[in-house]
């Protein structure tokens, strides 16, 4: 038994924050941002809009794409670093919106690798025969934890959500997943706070924000994502030329280009959305996947390599026959 992607969906907030908007706030320019990152704009959640709102929209689009009804779902896994609440978890909040209570629903936090981690878990449930219709979502409200006085991070992050539905298949869809982490790198990319490390009750803390050692993260990402490319093709006894599409985490165009070079893939065979979305963390890979499928570039039978690296440090890949 294997699992197969049978539906995809995404959601982006209506508000767009361009590089020119950031020029008014920061010592930066559109040309500098595009040269360093490839990003031109990013979407920002509206006041009153929530992580669960975005996850619901992406989930409903994926469910419709799969041709099923929400009540048919028997597993929900949500990857996010920016949940609406510490608890109930984001999976259960989404489950309530969809009206499909009873099945397991949970969220996990692995930063930008969260969707790959969630996909790997849902795949195991389907392979074990414990799920027939699994919903996997990545949803982030990173604008709520970005310090817009910090040029190194303010230019990078945006909000959005992406989702896929998995179903059983006799032929391999999710062929293999590869997950890694190394907590020794935690100081390179992290959020400054959390509930267990918060201030005493009654005090008024400043907001928790993302901190990143940009050049170190860039070098590490190029190295580790290069290694996981090699690991994935070796584990499946493939030549790199067998990969039809690279669907990478959309963090930085130069990192994407370095990974494509490792695969000897021309950029025409890489799904790139970083210019439009910025870095949406766990939403990044499913957003890019949905774009590639909806615009017709990715076709049934194509072999895809999905991969991401995030704070922690965590990293992972999935080899997928769409």
Question: Which contacts qualify for 59-62: CB closer than 8 Å, 24 or more apart?
Answer: 59/9, 59/94, 59/98, 59/135, 59/137, 59/161, 59/163, 60/9, 60/98, 61/8, 61/9, 61/10, 61/11, 61/163, 61/290, 62/7, 62/8, 62/9, 62/135, 62/163, 62/164, 62/165
Token reading at 14: 């209506």
Q: For residue 220, what are the CA distances in angstroms to 213, 215, 267, 277?
A: 11, 9, 21, 23
Whether 279 is catalytic: yes
Token reading at 315: 């990293």
Whether 19 is catalytic: no
Decide if 298 contacts 305 (C-beta within 8 A): no
From the candidates 43, 178, 249, 277, give the one annotated as an active-site residue: 249
Q: Which of 321, 318, 322 is nearest to 121 (CA)?
A: 318
> 3-class SS at 131?
coil
From the candidates 112, 178, 252, 277, give the one annotated as an active-site residue: 112
Q: Which of 169, 176, 171 is nearest to 66 (CA)?
A: 169
From the candidates 51, 89, 252, 279, give the one annotated as an active-site residue: 279
Q: What angle do CA 271, 51, 254 make, to 5 degrees?
A: 30
Q: According to DSSP H, which parts of the chain are helical? A: 19-23, 30-37, 51-66, 90-98, 114-127, 151-154, 214-235, 253-263, 274-277, 284-294
Token reading at 116: 């790959």
Q: Is the peptide bond before 262 cis (omega within 30 degrees of 0)?
A: no
Write out the catalytic residue numbers. 112, 249, 279
């Amino acid at each position: 038994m294997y699992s197969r992607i049978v539906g995809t969906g995404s959601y982006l907030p209506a508000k767009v924050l361009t590089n020119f908007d950031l020029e008014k706030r920061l010592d930066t320019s559109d040309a500098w941002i595009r040269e360093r990152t490839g990003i031109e704009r990013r979407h920002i959640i509206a006041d009153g809009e929530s992580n669960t709102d975005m996850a619901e929209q992406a989930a409903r689009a994926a469910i419709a794409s799969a041709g099923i009804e929400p009540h048919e779902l028997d597993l929900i896994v949500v990857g996010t670093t920016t949940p609406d609440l510490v608890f109930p978890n984001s999976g259960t909040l989404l489950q309530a919106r969809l009206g499909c209570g009873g099945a397991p629903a949970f969220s996990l936090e692995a930063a930008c690798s969260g969707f790959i981690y969630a996909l790997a878990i849902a795949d195991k449930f389907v392979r074990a025969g414990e799920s027939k219709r699994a919903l996997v979502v990545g949803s982030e409200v990173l604008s709520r934890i970005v310090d817009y006085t910090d040029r190194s991070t303010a230019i990078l992050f945006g909000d959005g959500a992406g989702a896929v539905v998995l179903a059983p298949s006799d032929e391999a869809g999710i062929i293999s997943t590869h997950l890694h982490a190394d907590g020794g790198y935690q100081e390179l990319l992290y959020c400054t706070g959390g509930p267990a490390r918060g201030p005493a009750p009654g005090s008024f803390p400043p907001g928790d924000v993302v901190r990143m050692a940009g050049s170190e993260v860039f070098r590490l990402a190029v190295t580790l994502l290069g290694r996981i490319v090699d690991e994935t093709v070796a584990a499946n006894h493939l030549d790199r030329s067998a990969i039809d599409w690279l669907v990478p985490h959309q963090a930085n165009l130069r990192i994407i280009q370095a990974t494509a070079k490792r695969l000897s893939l021309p950029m025409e065979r890489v799904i790139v959305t970083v210019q439009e979305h910025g870095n949406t963390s766990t939403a990044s890979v499913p957003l890019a996947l949905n774009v590639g499928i909806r615009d017709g570039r990715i076709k049934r039978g194509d072999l895809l390599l999905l991969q991401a690296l995030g704070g922690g440090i965590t990293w992972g890949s999935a080899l997928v026959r769409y």
